[in-house]
A and B are shown apart, each in its own frame.
Chain A
Amino acid sequence: MSVLALTDIHRSFEPGVPVLDGVDFSVEAGEVVGLLGRNGAGKTTLLHIAMGMLRQQQGTVEVFGLDPHRRPVEVKRRIGFVSENQILPAFLKVREVVELHRSLFPSWDDEMAARLIDRFGLRPGARIKTLSKGQARQVALLCALCHKPELLLLDEPAGGLDALARREFLETSIQALSNTGTTIVFSSHYLSDVERLADRVVMLHDSKVLIDNSLDELHESFSIALVPHRPQGTSDALLALPECLGVRVRTDAVHAVFRLDPDDACALITKQLGVTDALCRTAGLEEMFIEIAGGER
């Protein structure tokens, strides 16, 4: 059974403007999935639907095989959630926020909470409103981790944090991962964080899942081809190839992303377009993202 299964999810906030338009994907136990997409691509909407905080207009969601909308308490007890826009009660003290979560979750681990408070250097008596953004996010992470969730949903968890706070956040999540084998789905614009943590990448684009591959596949079996501008119609010819994910016309050359390793991509371009001087290479996630998100298809 999948930990999270989304089938044909549709959701819009304005008629005729779908945010999610038939999204399918499922997550198995122990997977760490990085959710990518431009602002407004529907990442937050998707995570809210998985949490049962928002209802899809069509399609089914199952978390641990349960409908999060019908069985909210059972499902939420087994999930940890941290979001960039999470609001903790400003006038409560750190200790009181922790106590509140402890009372809600039967599986709360006091020892782990004490360890994280110590590790983050949080003052239990400090009021939430006096904390820095990074500290407040640490409190949120602590509250999301200490009931030992089977599924951790992180919505842009490192947004607005400095590099060190981000790394600490990442390390804490990694430790939770090694200790309990938690399944993680997280969205992030920090693609280097995604490359550190994720084993699988799902990219939302134009309200659909455009890419759903292991990170290793993205690094080794996808490539960027730089194809010289002459002959006319190069970009249309590239777009017509089923393995081509997107094309960007730049001044230096036509950039095309292929669902093929560099050798196969170059061979295909030579065979189909008769172009022999295309340069094909693998690329990191950030470059890949920019080429795909910025291209036409």
Chain B
Amino acid sequence: MLIVVDPSSGVPVFRQVMEQVRFHIASGLLQAGDELPPTRSLSAELGVNPMTISKAYNLLERDGVLERRPGKPLVVAALDPEEIELEKLEQLRSNLSGAVRAARQLRLNPGEAIKVFRQMLEGDKED
């Protein structure tokens, strides 16, 4: 599983880990029943405090995204397809928030902004 953190980004590392696990689930890279790396090895690999990883895992478990079974590795919970579709949109929304802020500061009219988004999405080389 690919998790990359940037501790200096100003976003708490536990949130970065949570977001990336959610992203991988939404994209299908992680599927129901897939095991997550143990807290200890993930924290050593990322070079971050183990409490940070367990905080991320605990919150994902609380949200029903991960499932803990006694004495076994943490796994991705079975989510129904509808939830996964919602999660995809949620991921897109959080990725677009910076673009929305920029569009507002640039005082672009929404139609123009949406046109740019559509062009980029469809790989249109019109401009």
Contact = CB atoms under 8 A, between A and B. Distances in A.
A286 B43 CA distance: 22
A160 interface: no
B95 interface: no
A199 B44 contact: no
Nearest to A220: B12
Interface string A181-195: 000000000011001
Given A167-B47, A174-B48, A174-B49, A191 B39 contact: no
A286 B7 CA distance: 11
A177 B49 CA distance: 8
Interface in B1-34: 7-14
B40 interface: yes
Interface string A17-36: 00000000000001010000
A283 B10 contact: yes
Given A174-B47, A178-B39, A178-B43, A284 B12 contact: no
A30 B51 CA distance: 9
A32 B9 CA distance: 20
**B9, B10, B11, B44 — most chain A CB neighbours (10 Å):** B10
Contact of B7 (A175, A192, A281, A283): A192
Interface string B27-68: 000000000000110011001111110000000000000000
Interface residues on A, range: 20 to 34
B8 A195 contact: yes
Contact of A215 (B9, B12, B50): B12
Q: Is the interface of B mostly helix, strand, loop or mixed?
A: helix
A218 B40 CA distance: 25
A218 to B, nearest CB: 9
Contacts of B7: 192, 195-196, 284
A76 interface: no
Contacts of B49: 32, 174, 177, 196-199
A219 interface: yes
B8 A199 contact: no
A171 B44 contact: yes
Nearest to B53: A178
Contact of A285 (B8, B14, B40, B44): B8
B36 to A, nearest CB: 16
B19 to A, nearest CB: 14
Given A282-B10, A283-B10, A196 B47 contact: yes
A174 B8 contact: no
A174 B44 contact: yes
Contacts of B44: 171, 174-175, 178
A191 B8 contact: yes
Nearest to A192: B8
B9 A178 contact: no
A141 B21 CA distance: 34
Given A32-B51, A174-B50, A284 B40 contact: no
**A178, A215, A281 — most chain B CB neighbours (10 Å):** A178
A219 B11 contact: yes
A286 B9 CA distance: 10
17 contacts: A32-B51, A174-B44, A174-B47, A175-B44, A178-B43, A178-B50, A195-B8, A196-B7, A196-B13, A196-B48, A199-B52, A216-B12, A219-B10, A284-B8, A284-B10, A286-B8, A287-B10
Shortest Cβ-Cβ A-B pairs, 4 listed: A195-B7, A284-B8, A284-B10, A178-B50
Given A197-B49, A282-B11, A284-B8, 17 more contacts: A167-B47, A171-B44, A174-B44, A174-B48, A175-B40, A175-B44, A177-B49, A178-B39, A178-B50, A195-B13, A199-B49, A215-B12, A216-B12, A216-B14, A219-B12, A283-B10, A287-B10
